């Protein structure tokens, strides 16, 4: 039985960077790539349709802000970004810190996409070694 030894004296070979994705290659349309692109666009449209629709309905003169609340719009935006995947979550985290670009209620709503700081010791025991009572 042979043993595999990790040789750290030689640097690891670098892999070649991935080839760029081209929609047209050698004069031919790449249908598989086009299908993936169309599918992802459709997924994002489905994710962002509720907040966009809510925003448009808020602009109507008869119903407007009486029926379509700002708080619900912010909930829909957070939900859409969360369902859009890692890039949507990262964008929401970035936007939650940009009070200079977005208003405060939206930034606070987007802060839901950030993880809270973990508590290093949730239940600190002031006396780890208690003496037995006689």
| Alpha-carbon distance values, 120 to 13, 17, 125, 126 (Å) | 40, 40, 13, 15
pLDDT at 11 over 70: no
pLDDT for position 20? 74
Residue spans of the domains in the chain: they are 48-113
Mean pLDDT on 79-103 = 91
Mean pLDDT on 5-22 = 61
Query: For residue 129, what is the DSSP state?
Result: S
Pair 76, 65: CB distance under 8 Å? no
pLDDT for position 96? 92
pLDDT at 34 over 60: yes
Of the chain, the end-to-end C-alpha distance in Å amounts to 62
């Amino acid at each position: 039985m042979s043993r595999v030894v990790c040789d750290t004296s030689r640097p690891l070979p670098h892999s070649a960077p991935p080839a760029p994705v081209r929609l047209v290659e050698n004069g031919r349309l790449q249908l598989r790539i086009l299908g993936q692109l169309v599918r992802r666009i459709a997924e994002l449209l489905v994710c962002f349709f509720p907040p966009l629709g809510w925003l448009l309905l808020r602009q109507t003169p008869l119903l407007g802000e009486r029926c379509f609340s700002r708080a619900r719009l912010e909930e829909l935006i957070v939900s859409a970004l969360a369902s859009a995947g890692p890039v949507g979550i990262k964008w929401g985290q970035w936007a939650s810190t940009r009070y200079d670009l977005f208003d405060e209620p939206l930034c606070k709503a987007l802060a839901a996409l950030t993880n809270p700081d973990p508590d290093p010791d949730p239940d600190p025991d002031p006396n780890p070694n208690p003496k037995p009572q006689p």
